[in-house]
Amino acid sequence: MSATGPIRGAGHAPSEGNAAAPAAGEGSPRGAGRPAEDANWQDTYRELVATAAQAVRRIRPGQRVFVGTGCGQPEELVHALVARGRELPDTTIVHLLTSGDAPYADQALAEYFRVNSFFIADNVRKIIQEGLGDYTPVFLSEIPRLFASGQLPLDAALIQVSPPDSRGMCSLGVSVDIVKSAAENASLVIAQVNPNMPRTLGNGFLYVYDIDVLVPTDTPLIEMHAPEPDAETRQIGEYVAALVEDGSTVEFGIGAIPQAVMPFLMDKKDLGIHTEMFTDSIIDLIESGAVNGSRKTLDNGKIVASFCMGTRRLYDYIHDNPQFAFHPTEYVNDPFVIAQQHKQVAINVALEIDLTGQVCADSLGTQFYSGIGGQVDFNRGAARSPGGKAIIAIHSTARNGTVSRIVTRLSPGAGVVTTRGDVHYVVTENGVAYLHGKSVQERAIALISVAHPKFRARLLKEAIEAKFLRPELADIEGKVVIGPKEFRTTHLLSDGTQINVRPIHPTDEPATVDLFYALSRETMYYRFMSHSKQIPRKEFQEYVFIDHRKDIAIVATIPEAHREDIIAIGRYYLDEKTNLAEVAFVVRDDWQNRGIGSFLLKHLATIAKRNGIQGFTAEVLRANRAMQQVFLNSGFKVHSEPSEDVFSFRIHFA
């Protein structure tokens, strides 16, 4: 605490940016009516000003020193601290995640500096994995409580801020997150004051007299250049984006996959953003017109975040920009706040997931790799949001395709970050698996379906051995497949009802059973030419486990509250000797005579022609006049031949 300044927090402007930070410029043009930067701040607060070397002289051996987050890391202060490292034995460096250099994480300095990280970045991973540093697994939303309660007391906080404005308020800029709480609870606060730090609006301001030492600097902020996503990452992004509805509020977790989602959201409408962090890619998404926040429940119209990591382009974009509101982690990551948002979608990543749905996101076996971060906060919040979706995205393989990330059992020592009870959607480059409320068998099949094809047979065998799957499912090897996305389409019925058409999925077995047992005896007879009241389970398996090459099956669905209802199935079976495929349909009774069968026939014909198939064959009972009309009115060249009580149809596409 400064000997010359007032007591921290006493009698100063509220931290919510209401008086001191004039309501973050709510709704006004950029910069309008806001206090100007104090150009002479070094004279105004000369009693607080010091060099970096002078400032860190106030840190003593054995203390806990917090270092600011991400691209807001105060590098000059860090290097000054390390320069006197041999005078500071048993010093603990506490941080969330830092970019740039971490010179304190050097094996040669291990007896002086001990790293304790809430999230492991590249710059400290080696020292932690060697056992010379610590990792504290904790939900991001709960870290500020550790500081405030004294459970993890902080002796000093090294942070970076913008220059004070005419009211004496400094912005934490690109990193508000847990930095604000650290600054409010540390005994000594040293701030690197940098005119390159953008002034971000919201609740990320500190009063200048709540800072003990001001260290002037004029150095570029750390920049993070996101790598260009590869084809697999883009495919995951496309699948994830398809789950985001118009009007949703979106969170983008850290990593390449969440950022790869953004280009596929540009045709959406009325999106909102409530996220712990973002990168440069948010700019193009905003400028596409997809984001306006108009349907957000809280912070309507605002893009809410706690930190960002990017380039100068991003820092200039967010500077004094009233569209953005930066808030501390205890607000942004609060699951109860997240749950109130309209259709909150949480997009987070994993390192490994087992066939029951347990997600490991912070370690590779016993080696700690990253951290819990905000995954659980946002996953649980989104799951409870009205219309929300909790999504875990993961590449299906690692180590250049030699290892499956979807496994029967997690690697020994791997920690569960998101439990099997918390998982909803799992997305890989091979498709989407929905797990919530599903049995272990349904989960295993769904996850094997989105695993890499070369690992599916082994996963199937291991799942049967683990008693996750019934033994008779050994016969489906090679058929745990999700059909190509090109098979997907929609169809508008004459009454305006939209039905979705997609390939049948291995997890559709329960819904297929429901469909067939909902059929009338007449429809059952027309479809199967039998009066049997029971269909063997193996026959249902033959419907859903297909290779989508010689056998094609598509379903027409309508959305229900917690799942899709299958109302019709269309399928063909290729006879490679004739290059003709036998085609068959079934439509639920309450959806018959509405053109669904005709649409399914045309869609299957489109797929068949793309695969070089010459035409269809079908057997139709004489009494089934409706199906006869579907074929006769198809627009293709149709030949029918009667025999006793059956018509044999041959349909040529050319």
CB 305 within 8 A of CB 8: no
Higher pLDDT, 5 or 131: 131
The residue from 453, 476, 499 where one domain ends is: 476
The residue from 447, 476, 505 where one domain ends is: 476
Q: What is the CATH number of the domain that holds 565?
A: 3.40.630.30
Residue range(s) defining the domain that contains residue 127: 22-216
Whether residues 302 and 407 share a domain: the answer is yes
Residue 535 has pLDDT above 70, yes or no: no
Residue 80 lies in a domain: yes
Q: Look at strands 249-252 and 272-274 and give their pairing.
A: parallel
Which of the four pLDDT bands, split at 50, 70 and 90, describes residue 16? very low
Proportion of the chain above pLDDT 70, given as a percent? 93
Closest among 425, 422, 428, 424 to 404, alpha carbons compared: 428
Which of the four pLDDT bands, split at 50, 70 and 90, describes residue 36? confident
* Per-residue pLDDT at 207: 97
Q: How far apart are CA 193 and CA 76, in angstroms?
A: 10
Whether residues 144 and 195 share a domain: the answer is yes
Interior/surface letters 409-422, b for 16+ CB within 10 angstroms, e for the rest:
ebbeebbbbbebeb
Residue 586 has pLDDT above 70, yes or no: yes
Q: How far apart are CA 523 and CA 531, in angstroms?
A: 10
Q: Which amino acid is at 567?
A: I
Looking at the structure of the chain, the number of domains it has is 3
Catalytic residue among 232, 276, 330, 429: 276
Q: How far apart are CA 44 and CA 166, in angstroms?
A: 10
Which of the four pLDDT bands, split at 50, 70 and 90, describes residue 560? confident
* Per-residue pLDDT at 381: 97
* Per-residue pLDDT at 635: 92
Q: What is the mean pLDDT of residues 454-482?
A: 89
Q: For residue 30, how many other CB atoms are within 10 A of its CB?
A: 12
Q: How far apart are CA 370 and CA 359, in angstroms?
A: 13
Q: How far apart are CA 383 and CA 396, in angstroms?
A: 23
Whether residues 570 and 527 share a domain: the answer is yes
* Per-residue pLDDT at 545: 84
* Per-residue pLDDT at 483: 82
The interaxial angle of helices 537-544 and 509-518, nearest 10 deg, is 120
Q: DSSP assignment, residue 162?
A: P
* Per-residue pLDDT at 22: 34
The DSSP line for 526-564 is HHHSS--S---HHHHHHHH---SSSEEEEEEEEE-SSSE
Q: What is the CATH number of the domain that holds 340?
A: 3.40.1080.20
Residue 223 lies in a domain: no
Higher pLDDT, 183 or 530: 183
* Per-residue pLDDT at 393: 96
Residue 1 lies in a domain: no
Alpha-carbon dihedral sign for residues 432, 437, 441, 442:
negative
* Per-residue pLDDT at 429: 95
Q: How far apart are CA 109 and CA 129, in angstroms?
A: 16
Residue 594 lies in a domain: yes
Q: What is the mean pLDDT of residues 153-181?
A: 97
CB 323 within 8 A of CB 286: yes
The token pair at 370 is 């990253």
Q: What is the mean pLDDT of residues 323-338?
A: 98
Residue 221 lies in a domain: no
The token pair at 449 is 């379906």
- Judged by average pLDDT, the poorest of 12-16, 163-167, 226-230, 620-624 is 12-16
Which of the four pLDDT bands, split at 50, 70 and 90, describes residue 536? low
Which of the four pLDDT bands, split at 50, 70 and 90, describes residue 482? confident
Whether residues 270 and 358 share a domain: the answer is yes
Q: What is the mean pLDDT of the chain?
A: 90
Whether residues 581 and 502 share a domain: the answer is yes
pLDDT tens digits, 81-125: 999 999 999 999 999 999 989 999 999 999 999 999 999 999 999
Q: What is the CATH number of the domain that holds 93?
A: 3.40.1080.10
Residue 118 lies in a domain: yes
Q: How far apart are CA 48 and CA 215, in angstroms?
A: 8
Residue 532 has pLDDT above 60, yes or no: yes
Q: How far apart are CA 631 and CA 5, in angstroms?
A: 87
Whether residues 459 and 521 share a domain: the answer is no
Residue 499 has pLDDT above 70, yes or no: yes
Q: Any long-range contacts for 123-131 (C-beta under 8 Å, 24+ apart)?
A: 123/98, 123/99, 124/98, 125/368, 125/369, 128/368, 129/367, 129/368
Whether residues 121 and 56 share a domain: the answer is yes
The token pair at 453 is 């094809």
CB 511 within 8 A of CB 563: yes
pLDDT tens digits, 422-443: 999 999 999 889 999 889 999 9
User: Kindly report the CA angle at 594 between 588 and 595, in degrees rounded to 5?
Assistant: 100
The residue from 151, 183, 216 where one domain ends is: 216
Strand, coil or helix: what is 602?
helix
Strand, coil or helix: what is 215?
strand
Whether residues 580 and 550 share a domain: the answer is yes
Whether residues 165 and 249 share a domain: the answer is no
Residue 6 lies in a domain: no
Residue 640 has pLDDT above 70, yes or no: yes
Q: Which helix (H) or strand (E) holds 522?
A: helix 521-528
* Per-residue pLDDT at 469: 92
Note the residue count of the chain: 654
Q: What strand order describes the sheet that includes 213-216?
A: 134-135, 113-117, 91-95, 64-67, 156-161, 188-193, 213-216
Strand, coil or helix: what is 396?
coil
Residue 10 lies in a domain: no
What are the φ/ψ torsions at residue 511 (nearest 5 degrees)? -70, -35
Say whether 276 is catalytic: yes
Higher pLDDT, 58 or 529: 58
Whether residues 470 and 490 share a domain: the answer is no
Q: How far apart are CA 168 and CA 162, in angstroms?
A: 11
Whether residues 391 and 301 share a domain: the answer is yes
pLDDT tens digits, 228-255: 999 999 999 999 998 999 999 999 988 8
Closest among 544, 537, 540 to 505, alpha carbons compared: 544
Residue 8 has pLDDT above 80, yes or no: no
Whether residues 506 and 595 share a domain: the answer is yes
Residue 11 has pLDDT above 50, yes or no: no
pLDDT tens digits, 352-364: 999 999 999 999 9
Question: Which residues neighbour 530 within 8 Å (Cβ) at sequence distance 6 or greater?
Answer: 524
Q: Over the Cα atoms of the chain, what is R_g?
A: 30
Put residue 137 in one of left, alpha, beta given phi > 0 → left and psi -120 to 50 → alpha.
Answer: beta
Residue 613 has pLDDT above 60, yes or no: yes
